[in-house]
Chain A
Amino acid sequence: MAHKRIAKIITSLLASALVLGMMQTSTLPFGPLSLSVCEAATEINGHTFAAESSGYRLYVDESDLSLVVEDKNTGAYMESSISYDDGKNNASWLGAMKSAVVLTMINGNDDTQQADLINDDVKKDIKYTDKGFTAELYWNKYRFGMTLEVEITDDGVKARIPDESIHEDGDSYFIGTIALYPYMGNSYLDSKDGYILVPDGNGALIYLNDKEGRFKSGFSGMIYGSDVGFDESDVTTLLKDRYNTISDSEKVIAPVFGIAHTDDEIAYLAIVEDGEARASIECIPNGVSVDYNRAYAKFTLRKTYTQPTSNNSTAGSLHIYESERSHSDLGVRYIFLSGEDADYSGMARCYRDYLITNGLLKASDTSYKTRVDFLGTERESWVLGTTPVVMTTVDDINEIYEELRSENVTEILSVYKGWQKGGLYDLPISSYSVESKIGGKAKLTKLINEAKENGIDLYLYNNALLINPDEKNATFNVVKKINKRRFELTTYMDVYKTLLYIIPSRSEALLNRFIKSYTQKGVNNLALAGITGTLFSYNYSGSNYTRYDTQASYASTVSKVAESTELIMEQPFAYLWSEAGAFLDMPLYTSAYIFEDESIPFLSMVLKGNMPVYAEYVNFEANKQEFFLKMVESGSFPSFYITKESSSELIYTNSSDIYSSEFSSYRSTIAQYDEKLGELNNLLAGATIEKHEILESGVVKVTYSNGVRVYINYGSEEQTADGLTIGSMSYEVGR
């Protein structure tokens, strides 16, 4: 164990050193920690002892309610306010850096004004309990208040603001956002070694080195994706004044973030437990406005928006704010990790345990399968209306399965897209009516049943979010933005130019209708998309609905659907994981922000061994072998989007972005991937990822719970690790 630990320390040190280029002698503003005796101190940096649990002690500063959490075993601690002031910060920044809650207020058109516990006249009524304290806070000037509850648990700290405690009595100041403990675990420049865990894509790290002021902003991501109910104003330079070349950034799929101080061997994983649907995660490295590294959750209660008063956008508009705030408890749970666990692998393990204990993740069959999806029919324009473009029929699928079997590919999961009458974009699907051009209902039902006998799971794809106004009546039940304008999704394609969203209750009704007619036929495999990976605020028949409403509605819809179907989901958000039989389209990369130093497969580390995770389609990857190694690293299964006909047939359809999918060109690739990844994942059979580390040589080492170790070398030169030689751009398995 000891050598492992040393190796780990060296590894993490070297990893940081690599980034730093040359590790300079630490310019610690405060001396290195020398607390080896772990008795309770009465005070740490102006914070007095308040409560303790089996693992941690809690200290609090009554003036700003900031915390220090101390590890009883090691004496290492993390603090929620800055203990070293570099003298460059104004009062407003100092307020934000020290206060337990930092608010932005809406006052007229201004939504940027800050309220905190230091600069404002706040009445605090603090009551200590045996586990922590509750503090009733009231801003006398702005006339609003709330109750902050802080509780120490066996593994960390929980901070909460109950919804009913938030009250606004004035009529000129309203709460816009609330940030809870925004400087929890902060550090000054490179005074600590470690990193911030960023929930971007699969996961990313920002190292706690000196960024030399290179970045203007840090990571800010709305949990569960951005909100289409509000128009985001965004300046973008367009290609040829028309094309937005910047891809959308990845969605925050799970409401987590974390900070690790690897030199102190202390880290926390923060889980936004309450109010996450309307919160954003901010991970900000030093040099962005101030020289402190910080990460926190910021809850939105009210937002301003532009209300156009005419259809002509230039004619006039009002800038107004939501009259009613959104209602939800707000809470963040900080789970502290120490010793060997104080790294991102520890965070992943800890989040996995949290999910399992709380019933948010159930163990599914995680045996290896290659995902081969099919596209049934699409439509292209014709003289009047549209005409079907048949890509893959039921018979074709049978044939493809047959051919794959001859290539020894037998473990297959398939999602059939565009099976419904009217083709892929004839949405929404309200009954089990199958396009006759692909063979019809009886044939498809037979195919699903026969495939099952052969061990192949064929799921029907249903995007329960979209409606196509060109094919279906979309006058009612479609999502309007908070400014009461219809939300339109522009496709930039020729056949169907816009798609709309259906309101959640309608999605549920249509899904139920579909499932009823589907399960009647004795089949129940469903791949659900759209509602699994989208949340929004909307306006419907005069009332506003928040993302909390949408989330609750989708959660109940999905759990009802899961009762009667075998359900797999496309990019499901964390709150739906307990119902998901498989995770489709897991991002393997990040959004590639310049301030991110490392991309790590955090979500894969959480899910591997409990839920089968399928990567995005191999088809559209330009660097196939790097993508292959990424799948090896994250333990993901490969996905292919296959058509029988050449994808050039799709040129005049809305799927003209599918530029490569013909089975004949993918046959051997599928077989190769299946062979290699099948072999690897059979070794891993149900094991979870215990450790993920980047060795000095750049080789990535992934250790599984059953002892299997996978080494991946992305470099151009052969490397050795633990006595194994790993060729360039390849991987090795150690046992």
Chain B
Amino acid sequence: MKNRFIRIIKSAILPIVLAGSVLTGSYLQAFADAPYKTYTVDGYGSVTETQTAYLPYKTITKIGEETLLTPTDFTLVNDEFIYILDSGNARVVVSDMEGEPVMTFGEGILVAPKGIYVTKDRTTYVADRDAKAIFVFDKEGNLTNTYTKPTEAMYGDTLDFLPLKIVANKSGTMYVVCESNTNGIVQISPVEGGTFLGYFGTNATKANIWTIIWRAILTDAQRAKMQSNIPATPDNMAIDDKGVIYTITRGEKNDTLKRLNIAGVNMIETTDYPDIPAAVAAGNHDNVFVATQTGFIYEYNNEGDLLFMFGGSDDGKQRIGLSTKVEAIQIGLDDKIYVLDSEKAQIQIYEPTEFTAYLHNALYLFSKGRYEESKEPLGKVLEMNNLFTYANMAMGKALYKEGDYEGALLYARIAKDTDGYSDAFWEIRNVWLKKNLTWIAILIIVIVVLTILVKFLQKKKNILDKPKTFLKKIGEVKIVKQLCYSFYFIRHPIDGSYGIKREGKVSVLSANIILLIGTVFYIINKYFCGFLTKTVREGNFDVLSDIGMILIALIAVVSCNYLMCTINDGEGKFKDIYCSLIYCFTPYLILTPILFILSHIVSNNEIFFVQFGSICMWVWIAVLIFISIQEINNYTVGETIKIILLTVFTILIVALLIFIIYVLWSQVFDFLQSIFGEVVYRIGS
């Protein structure tokens, strides 16, 4: 029986997990819980906690008896050797995977080496900044080649050659990141003692609207004095088995992490980028790892979706797996993560947990399009964490491919995957329509027949007379009449405004009722519209501040507009301006319910109708507001435009004033409070 259980456990665990828990060398492995938390992002991009993805496994602090001095880079070779660039000692130290020494080389040749890359056949490339050269060593550590500054004119005569990081592809072409070279990654071919092939993966300069405006205005001389807008140099890079280059660049926001194909085109985009990236590495499952200098490790899938963030900075806490200054990251063939810390002069190894092993398996199968197979590991992942976004999204897609649209819809919604949701929804709606087409047809026929019947009966027996008189009676009630005036107003705004101004067709009460209904519609539409058109997080409600915003905006617009009108010979009374403004929003009351219903039955393919309807509605409202301001105050078109601009300006000024007063008062209040507080404690003690 026990064996059976062990077998269950064993079969449940991928061999990857087991591969490395041996007691080795000078290290006794204490099984420990990770002292850091692991985070992922939910469908909205908010950070949430998840299971531990990687556990600290081992730390290599010494190579044999030798300690390292500010190592800055390293490479794993076939999971047999670790090539560490011991920069402080200007040499390359080679060890086996357990930290036992194999050889050292490069002493006397290297000056201030910063980057190392070792190919599968153990050819070593070292980027040496102060020697201004790239050194190539063979398997035995003998220097075989040296590449210095390219002589080609295209490289740039005035540019220095200060190589920092290097990778090479299978054909031996070197990609070099150089200090203060903003043209991009330097690409050097080994032929003819080094041929400069050009720049690769150049980052784009960023120009915002202000710089564009400034540049248009300033003279050449002034422009020269402006802070020059040069593209950022990549900070580090990595190459995977297919020769795809990954770069990281600090401060490039969504372009922090790039995955460059052979043409230098970025194929990845991530919104969850790290702030101070230090190194990047390609994983074994089309995944990418980025380590920040502060010790956080980010894992992404091949699309740039964030899977995990974990690790942390050792601010004197002395817990296992925290780093001080990370310089490089590498991934072993067994998915272990190796992180080089230059300040601690050590390599920290992390091993994936069961959870991560399942996820990697799913990642691999999914990226290969084997959706059916990927369902099993995905199911395991979801069993362990129902809310894991990537797994939900992938599961939704897998089920969609299988034709289980209901399931796909459910998973897509948890993952907030709008595309997946839309596709599944389209299919479900399609099925529903097919199934119920007859019934819909019958329903339409019945309605048509009934209408004809009623019309016929009306002709014969006047059956509609009673309801008609009743409706008429209600229509006679003053407030109903005032409310119904809105329908007239939106079709005849000029005449309608006259009615408001001169004929007392509306009252403050009727305007308030419209405001109330409008607010209710706004809230219902905001929180309960279809998933695809929703602009707020599901499960989040902040109704009071919504109402507050509406009221503040209304008060600001109406009062500022009134103020401006009174000093600009406007004829409108406050009440008229208020009522007409509210009545201008009648299209909102009419169209929102329609858009609301539409939002529940459209997929992304038809979402245009909702958006178009919404645009029409706002244009209509804008036109009504314009005309009503013009008519209420008896302005010309020019005057109206002027008054609208003045109103906007006044609102800004008022907001600024209120802000200043608030800040000043809070300062005074704080000051008084601290005096009081201090007096109390002085007396108290």
A: residues with CB less than 8 A from B are 15, 18-22, 204, 214-217, 234-237, 239-243, 245-247, 249, 307-312, 315-316, 318, 320, 323, 380-384, 494, 589-599, 620-626, 628, 630, 646-648, 651-652, 656-657, 659-660, 662, 665, 672, 675-676, 679, 698, 714-717, 727-730
Given the complex, which residues of A lie within 8 Å of B316, measured CB to CB?
216-217, 235
Question: For B414, what are the chain A residues with a Cβ–Cβ distance below 8 Å?
Answer: 648, 651
Most A C-beta atoms less than 10 A away, residue of B309, B318, B541, B685: B318
CA gap between A590 and B50 in the complex, in Å: 20
Q: Which residues of B contact A598 (CB under 8 A)?
A: 28, 30
**What residues of B have a CB within 8 angstroms of the CB of A676 in the complex?**
2, 5
Contacts of B23 in A (CB 8 A): 18, 698, 715
- Judge whether A217 and B318 touch: CB under 8 Å: yes
Inter-chain CA distance A311–B671, complex, in Å, is 10
Q: Is the Cβ of A589 less than 8 Å from the Cβ of B32?
A: yes
Bound: A320/B677 CA distance, A: 14
Contact with A along B518-545 (1 / 0, CB 8 A): 0000010001000000000011110110
Contact B541 A383 (CB under 8 A): yes
Measured CB to CB, the nearest residue on chain B to A620 is B51
| Residues of A close to B59: CB separation below 8 A | 594
Cβ-defined contact, A656 with B312, below 8 A = no
Are B313 and A236 in contact, with the CB atoms below 8 A? yes
Decide if B567 is an interface residue (CB 8 Å cutoff).
no
In Å, the complex CA distance between A380 and B538 comes to: 11
Q: List 16 additional contacts besides A246-B37, A676-B5; criterion CB under 8 Å.
A: A20-B26, A216-B318, A237-B312, A241-B275, A243-B37, A589-B32, A599-B30, A622-B52, A625-B354, A659-B385, A662-B386, A675-B5, A698-B28, A716-B21, A728-B18, A729-B18
Residues on the A chain within 8 Å of B266, using CB = none
CB contacts (< 8 Å) of A237 on chain B: these are: 294-295, 312-313, 315
- Contact residues in A for B267 (Cβ distance below 8 Å): none
B353 touches A (CB below 8 Å)? yes
Candidates A239, A312, A647, A714; contact of B31 at CB < 8 Å: A714
Which 3 A-B residue pairs are closest in the complex by CB-CB distance? A652-B539, A21-B26, A309-B677
Looking across the interface, which residue of chain B has its beta carbon closest to that of A248? B35
Whole-angstrom distance between the alpha carbons of A343 and B669 in the complex?
A: 63
Measured CB to CB, the closest approach of chain A to B527, in angstroms, equals: 7
Residues of B within 8 A of A245 (CB): 36-37, 39, 296, 309-312
Chain B residue at smallest Cβ distance from A624: B354
The distance in angstroms between the C-alpha atoms of A215 and B539, with both chains bound, is 47
A648 touching B320, Cβ below 8 Å: no
CB distance from B357 to the nearest CB of A (A): 10
Q: Which residues of A contact B388 (CB under 8 A)?
A: 659
A665 nearest CB neighbor, chain B only: B383
- Which residues of chain A come closer than 8 Å to B48, judged between CB atoms? 656-657
24 contacts between A and B (CB under 8 A): A217-B316, A235-B315, A237-B312, A243-B39, A245-B312, A246-B35, A247-B33, A247-B34, A312-B670, A316-B677, A383-B523, A384-B544, A494-B540, A590-B30, A591-B319, A593-B319, A599-B31, A622-B52, A623-B354, A624-B354, A646-B386, A647-B386, A647-B387, A652-B540
Residues of A within 8 A of B455 (CB): none
**A593 in contact with B25 (CB, 8 Å):** no
A235 vs B295: C-alpha distance when bound (angstroms): 15
Interface string of B400-442 (1 = CB under 8 A from A): 0000000000000010000000000000000000000000000
| B223 sits at the interface (CB 8 A) | no
Q: Which of A247, A647, A659 contacts B50 (CB 8 A)?
A: A659
Q: Are the CB atoms of A243 and B9 closer together than 8 Å?
A: no
Check: B583 CB closer than 8 A to any chain A CB.
no
Give min CB distance, B486 to chain A, whole Å: 26
Is there a chain A Cβ closer than 8 Å to B634's Cβ?
Answer: no
With both chains docked as a complex, state the minimum distance between the C-beta of B79 and any C-beta of chain A, in angstroms. Answer: 15
In the bound complex, how far is the Cα of B353 from the Cα of A625, in angstroms? 10
Instruction: Determine if B10 is an interface residue (Cβ-Cβ < 8 Å).
Output: yes
| Distance from A382 Cβ to chain B, minimum over Cβ atoms (Å) | 6
Determine the chain A residues whose CB is within 8 A of the CB of B35 once the complex forms.
246-247, 249, 591-593
Q: Which residue of B lies closest to A309 (CB)?
A: B677
Q: Which residues of B contact A594 (CB under 8 A)?
A: 59, 318-320
CB atoms of B673 and A310 under 8 A apart: yes
**A312–B665 CA distance with the chains assembled, in angstroms:** 13
Contact B354 A622 (CB under 8 A): yes
| Bound CA–CA A456/B622 (angstroms) | 69
Residue of B nearest to A596 (CB): B30
When C-beta atoms are compared, the residue in chain B nearest to A389 turns out to be B539
Q: Given A597-B28, A651-B414, do A246 and B39 touch, yes or no (CB 8 Å)?
A: no
Name which of B21, B666, B676 has the most chain A CB atoms within 10 A of its CB: B21
CA of A240 to CA of B9, assembled, Å = 37
Q: Is B321 an interface residue (CB 8 A)?
A: yes
B543 contacts A308, C-beta separation under 8 Å: no
Q: Which A residue sits closest to B49, measured CB to CB?
A: A657
Asked whether, in the complex, the Cβ of B8 is within 8 Å of the Cβ of A672, the reply is yes
Q: A316 vs B55: C-alpha distance in the bound complex, in angstroms?
A: 43
Residue of A nearest to B320 (CB): A592
Chain B minimum-CB-distance residue to A652: B539
Residues of A within 8 A of B538 (CB): 652
Asked whether, in the complex, the Cβ of B681 is within 8 Å of the Cβ of A239, the reply is: no
Contact A18 B28 (CB under 8 A): yes
Q: How far is the CA of A658 from the CA of B34 in the complex (A)?
A: 18
B164 close to A (CB within 8 Å): no
Complex Cα gap A599–B317 (Å) = 18
Please report the C-alpha to C-alpha distance between residue A698 and residue B22 in the assembled complex, in whole angstroms.
9
Most buried by A among B35, B56, B681: B35
List, in ascending order, chain B residues with CB within 8 A of A657's CB: 48-49
Determine how close the nearest CB of chain B comes to the CB of A192; give it in whole angstroms: 19
Question: Is B93 in the interface zone, CB < 8 Å from A?
Answer: no
B10 contacts across to A, CB distance below 8 A: 729
Contact flags B33-46 to A (C-beta < 8 A → 1, else 0): 11111010010000
Does A310 lie within 8 Å of B353, measured CB to CB? no
**B361 at the binding interface (Cβ < 8 Å):** no
Q: Which residues of B contact A652 (CB under 8 A)?
A: 538-540
The CA of A235 and the CA of B294, in the complex, are separated in Å by 13
Asked if B541 and A246 make an inter-chain contact with CB atoms under 8 angstroms apart, the answer reads no
Query: Are the C-beta atoms of A246 and B31 separated by less than 8 Å?
Result: no
Alpha-carbon separation in the docked complex, A646 to B384 (Å) = 12
Bound CA span A392–B275, Å: 42
Q: Are A315 and B5 within 8 A (Cβ)?
A: no
CB contacts (< 8 Å) of B30 on chain A: these are 204, 590, 592, 596-599
Q: In the bound complex, how far is the Cα of B483 from the Cα of A645, in angstroms?
A: 48
Q: A594-B318, A646-B386 given as contacts; is B543 within 8 A of A383 (CB)?
A: yes
The answer to whether B673 and A716 have CB atoms under 8 Å apart is no
Asked if A623 and B527 sit within 8 Å, CB to CB, the answer is no
A interface footprint on B353-386 (CB within 8 Å = 1, 0 otherwise): 1111000000000000000000000000001111
Across the interface, do A622 and B31 meet the contact criterion of CB distance under 8 Å? no
Which residues of A have CB within 8 Å of B385?
A: 659-660
Q: Which of B656-685 contact A (CB under 8 A)?
A: 666, 670-671, 673-678, 681, 685
Residues of B within 8 A of A662 (CB): 386
Q: Which residue of A lies closest to B33 (CB)?
A: A589
Q: A717 touching B33 by the CB < 8 A rule?
A: no
Verify if B61 is at the interface (C-beta below 8 Å from A). yes
Q: Is A308 touching B22 in the complex (CB atoms < 8 A)?
A: no
Is B17 engaged at the interface, CB distance under 8 Å to the other chain? yes
A386 CB, nearest partner CB in chain B, Å: 9
Chain A residues with CB under 8 Å of B25's CB are: 21
**Binary interface profile of B, 188-202, with partner A (CB < 8 Å = 1, else 0)?**
000000000000000
- Shortest Cβ gap from B112 to chain A (Å): 27
Closest to B387 in A: A659
Whether a CB of chain A sits under 8 angstroms from the CB of B20 is yes
Nearest CB of chain A from residue B28's CB, rounded to whole Å? 5
- B207 beta carbon closer than 8 Å to chain A: no
Give complex CA distance A593, B317 in Å: 8
Q: Are B28 and A311 in contact (CB under 8 A)?
A: no
In the bound complex, do residue A315 and residue B674 qualify as a contact, i.e. CB atoms below 8 Å apart?
yes
Residues of B within 8 A of A494 (CB): 539-540
- Min C-beta distance of A527 to chain B, whole Å: 24
